[in-house]
Amino acid sequence: EAQVTQNPRYLITVTGKKLTVTCSQNMNHEYMSWYRQDPGLGLRQIYYSMNVEVTDKGDVPEGYKVSRKEKRNFPLILESPSPNQTSLYFCASSEDVRTEAFFGQGTRLTVV
C-alpha cells in the first residue's frame, strides 16, 4: 500500500529539548516536504526536497532543520523547540510539485 508514515503521531516536549519527527515514503518519490498547520493559517511549507541531498527552504523554515540522505526518508529536526512551534505537522511526498502529493497522518506537537 502506498503510504507516507510519520512518527510519532503525538508528542509533548519541553522547551529546548531536541526532537526529530520521522517521515518515510514507499512510493519512490523524488519530492518530499514538511508543512505545519495552524488554525486560520492553513498549511505552510517548512522545507522541501527535490531529491537526495537537495533541500530548500519553504515559507517558514526558522527553527527547523531537515536532511535527505535517502530517497525514502525526510526527517524534520527541531534543535531547540519553542512554544511557538506547537502545531500539527504534515509530511508529504510526490513525484514532483506538479503531481499529487500524498500526506502522512500528521504529528501533533506540543512544546511546553
Partner 1 sequence: AQSVTQPDIHITVSEGASLELRCNYSYGATPYLFWYVQSPGQGLQLLLKYFSGDTLVQGIKGFEAEFKRSQSSFNLRKPSVHWSDAAEYFCAVGTFSGSEKLVFGKGTKLTVNP
Contact residues: partner 1, CB under 8 A: 4, 31, 33, 35, 40-45, 48, 50, 56, 58-59, 90, 92, 96-98, 100-101, 103-106
Q: What angle do CA 87, 22, 8 make, to 5 degrees?
A: 60
Pairing of strands 107-111, 10-13: parallel
The smaller minimum CB distance to partner 1, of residues 53 and 79, is found at 53
The per-residue b/e assignment along 19-45, b for 16 or more CB within 10 angstroms, e otherwise, is bebebbbeeebbbbbbbbeeeeeebeb
Cell of 21: 519527527
Cell of 37: 498547520
Q: How far is the CB of 41 from partner 1 (least distance, A)?
A: 6
Q: How far is the CB of 59 from partner 1 (least distance, A)?
A: 7
Q: How far is the CB of 22 from partner 1 (least distance, A)?
A: 16
The smaller minimum CB distance to partner 1, of residues 48 and 64, is found at 48
The smaller minimum CB distance to partner 1, of residues 14 and 54, is found at 54
